[in-house]
Amino acid sequence: MNEIKLFGKWDTSEVKIPSKGLERYVALKPTFVPHSSGRVSGQQFIKSKMNIVERLVNKMMKSGQGRKKIAGKFIRGRGNTGKKQKALNIVDSAFDIIAERTKKNPVQVFVDAIANTGPQEETTTIIYGGIRYHQAVDSSTQRRVDFGLKYIAQGAFHNSFKNSKPVEQALADEIIWASKSDTNSYAIQRKEETERIAKSSR
């Protein structure tokens, strides 16, 4: 029997997670197509058992940021909402670009990017005696993975919005930059900003 490879091309069994703490939250169970048909939805913390590539695909199924801005822009009309096959094709094409440019397993590059983009600490709001102030707190490992996925998807949207660059290329660029901790990456910029704010609130 042939090995089960992601999209029929990439072996996830050889991928190494750079941090021991991330192993519980970065699921790399072998699968041809990262699509669970909602079998793991509706349960608290069950997302950590979902294939990490499928979680990226789900993040790419957004139409925009609502009233919020991404790097000063309102991102609108990405056209992926509810269209999982389209999002799967975007991620598949992005992984092909990553493999061609880095000569590495794109799943390994993606896992390295997640490890680099999750902030180690953030701030929370505390109300004491009617006074509201921010206090630095350590980020849990699961939140680090959540933030990493969110920032990578937002970076791809930001780089392709009102731009001739296709979203596949933008996603590939974002993952490669993030895996190298390059400050060209939107995700790395957001991580550093979050940690800088937390540092000032200690």
With bands split at pLDDT 50, 70 and 90, how would you rate the model's confidence at 1?
A: very low
- What is residue 79's predicted lDDT score, i.e. its pLDDT? 55
Residue 73 has pLDDT above 60, yes or no: no
Q: Answer whether residue 10 is part of any domain.
A: no
For residue 134, what is the enclosing H or E element?
A: strand 131-138
Segment 54-77 shows an average pLDDT of: 67
The pTM of the whole model exceeds 0.75: yes
Q: Is residue 152 part of a domain?
A: yes
Rounded mean pLDDT, 62-74? 57
Query: Which tens digits make up the pLDDT trace of 151-201?
Result: 898 888 888 877 788 889 999 999 999 999 988 898 899 899 888 888 888
Residue 12 lies in a domain: no
Asked, for residue 53, whether it belongs to a domain, the answer is: yes
Is residue 20 classed exposed, middle or buried when 0-12, 13-18 and 19+ CB atoms within 10 A define those classes? exposed
> What's the chain's average pLDDT?
83
Q: Say how many domains are in the chain.
A: 1
**Domain presence at residue 9:** no
Q: Which range of residues forms the domain containing residue 53?
A: 20-200
Of the listed ranges 30-44, 74-88, 146-160, the least confidently predicted one is: 74-88
Supply the CATH number for residue 55's domain.
Answer: 1.10.455.10
Structure-derived torsion over alpha carbons of residues 14, 30, 157, 195, reported in degrees to the nearest 10 = -60
